[in-house]
Amino acid sequence: MTDTSGTEFDLIVVGGGPAGSTLATFVAMRDHKVLLLERDRFPRHQIGESLLPSTIHTICPLLGISEEIENANFVRKHGGIFRWGKNAEPWYFQFKDANSLWGPWGYAYQVRRAEFDDILLRNAAKKGVDVRQGHTVTGVIEEDGRVVGVRFTDEQGREHAARARFVADSSGNTTRISEKVGKREYSKLFRNVALYTYFKGAKRSPAPHAGSIVCEAFDEGWFWFIPISDELTSVGAVVFREHIDKIKQEPHAAMTRFIGKTRFVKDLLADAKPETEGIYGEYRVRRDWSYCNTRFTAPGVVLVGDAACFVDPVFSTGVHLATYSALLAARSINTCLDTDIPEERCFNEFEMRYRREFGNVYQFLIAFYNQHLNSRDYFEHAHGVLSADMQEEAANQAFVRLVSGVSTTGEPFHSDFQGMAKAKADAYSASKEYLTAVKIATLRGGHALTDADKVAATLDDTLGRSVRDRIASVGDFVPDDVLQLAKTVAIHAETGRPTSRQLFVDGLVPGEGELHWQEA
Ligand code: FAD
């Protein structure tokens, strides 16, 4: 679209949290003209620090920020520890237990959101998005039943308007635009309130769980305990809504009382003190009611991230849903801008896939909030929720997959689960001959496994570095994960890329490069 006035865009994005910056970047990466309006000045505080592997190992590489994330000194999260349900003692999971899906990438990060969100927003600007901080959207412009732009104010309070082919609302849970698209429906089940702050000097769980999230249920709700640096831990009590007045009046007293009712969180915090300075030096209260809009799209406008829906934070799915929905919306917008596939079909694909991912988490949470079950029951429920996709998967693997953010199959980067599972089984019974076979397969695909740089060049940066590091460390003994890596490389080399799956009748599939839809 040619624009000489500076007020016409292909896409206007409202809000620069993870959903908005991810969406804006993915559309700008296809050479479209994108304006992003963010009310605050970054870095700013935000809750939602515990991330999932799906965000770190699929979205971040696509955004091209893996290296920056790796160098940001965030805490590695290998899984979670739960004191939950009928089990008197804590039980845990590790992401790597999802069979070989994550392989050597079986981790995510606990992030300081002020820094994480800032990395994403700066990246959007680097990729060509016109990012304007301190700009607040005050309403949308509608013509003939279609949203065609927004009105906004700058930091001096001056009023502006801009027009675009599409407007995306990623302004989070306080959105006012979502009511133009549909009605927000609140869950009758998940209506809690969260009181949280940050502690200095808390203990860490023993390896490999030092960076894992700890969730402990107690008689008035549950706690999260999230290490966000060597020094600082994010601690939150999610309790029934009748506590809200007391919490607001005396947050410190309420927090002390709640901690006193736990066993494990109390022990981890025995020598810790609440942080009193800077952005981490206060108590905050958030209603965390779960909700979902009746529609995610209307002509000219799309809702992504918390603006569309939110589900209870116990599985830390917020940023995953925000960034994954952003990818889905970006595909739809790019496809509308670049092809003649009808708009309705493109946005239908976005909405169906997003609802499916949200629905899987929501459905599983219903069972998870039943404290009369034990860990095995929860695993079985996860299996039930996902069984339509994966009949032969072990129950605990289904659980880990669900809480890793990959319950939706059909994604090229999530979909080759069966192949990966087989690779792991093969790797266990592997011998040097097997490695030789893999080398031959890899060579046949045009890559010499021993030539680490050549292999790495064909892969994304994180994967490439892992390959280089691991191959460099291979001696006579070949560890399982190297074999698995070798097999993965071989699969990539032979097939080009894992296959995409159509999820719905007449549905579209992700195209090469992941940023648009195409016919199946
Ligand atoms: P946001 O992060 O809310 O970003 C929206 C942006 O829009 C903001 O920067 C805001 O300034 C801007 N904005 C708002 N209005 C306007 C306007 N009118 N004009 C311009 N800009 C505007 N998620 C996890 O992944 N892990 C967790 O551990 C986790 N814990 C949580 C705990 C609690 C108690 C709660 C309530 C949530 C938790 N979440 C967690 C969820 C997570 O916080 C959100 O899902 C995530 O931040 C959503 O990202 P978003 O980009 O959609 O919205």
Mind listing the pLDDT tens digit for each residue in 102-139?
555 688 999 999 999 999 999 999 999 999 999 999 99
Distance 34 CA to ligand 1 centre (A): 21
Ligand 1: residue whose CA is nearest its atom 43 = 48
Query: Does residue 3 have a pLDDT over 50?
Result: no
Alpha carbons 398 and 395: distance in angstroms, whole number: 5
Q: Please count the other Cβ atoms lying within 10 Å of the Cβ belonging to residue 203.
A: 15
Q: Look at 193 and 451; give whichever has higher pLDDT.
A: 193
Q: Best substitution site from 319, 323, 325, 365 to test ligand 1's pocket, by max atoms within 8 Å of Cβ?
A: 319
Mean pLDDT of the chain, nearest integer: 82
What does the pLDDT read at residue 402?
A: 80
Q: Report how far apart, in Å, the C-alpha atoms of 279 and of each of 120, 197, 367, 377, 406 are.
A: 19, 10, 35, 40, 32
Q: Are 220 and 245 in contact (CB under 8 A)?
A: no
> How far separated are the first and last CA of the chain, in Å rounded?
28
- CA of 326 relative to ligand 1 center, distance in Å: 13
- Entry field: residues in the chain: 520
Q: What is the pTM of this model?
A: 0.84
What share of the chain in percent tops pLDDT 90? 56
Q: For residue 310, report the distance from its CA to the centre of ligand 1, in Å.
A: 10
Burial of 474 (0-12, 13-18, 19+ CB in 10 A): middle
Convert the pLDDT of each residue in 173-215 to its tens digit. 999 999 999 999 998 888 899 999 999 999 999 988 999 999 9
Q: How far apart are CA 113 and CA 49, in angstroms?
A: 6
- Binding site membership of 463 for ligand 1 (Cβ less than 6 Å): no
Does residue 77 sit in helix, strand or coil?
strand
- Secondary element (H or E) of residue 183: none
Q: How far is the CA of 371 from the centre of ligand 1 (A)?
A: 28
Model confidence at 220: pLDDT above 80: yes
| Ligand 1 atom nearest 213 alpha carbon | 28
Q: Which of 213-222, 250-259, 393-402, 479-488 has the lowest mean pLDDT?
A: 479-488
Q: How far is CA 520 from CA 348, 494, 505, in A?
A: 15, 21, 10
Does residue 276 register a pLDDT over 50? yes
428 contacts: CB under 8 Å, gap ≥ 6:
480
- 110 vs 472: CA distance, rounded Å: 29
Query: Which of residues 363 and 118 earns the better pLDDT score?
Result: 118
Is residue 151 a contact partner of residue 159, using CB atoms and an 8 Å limit? yes
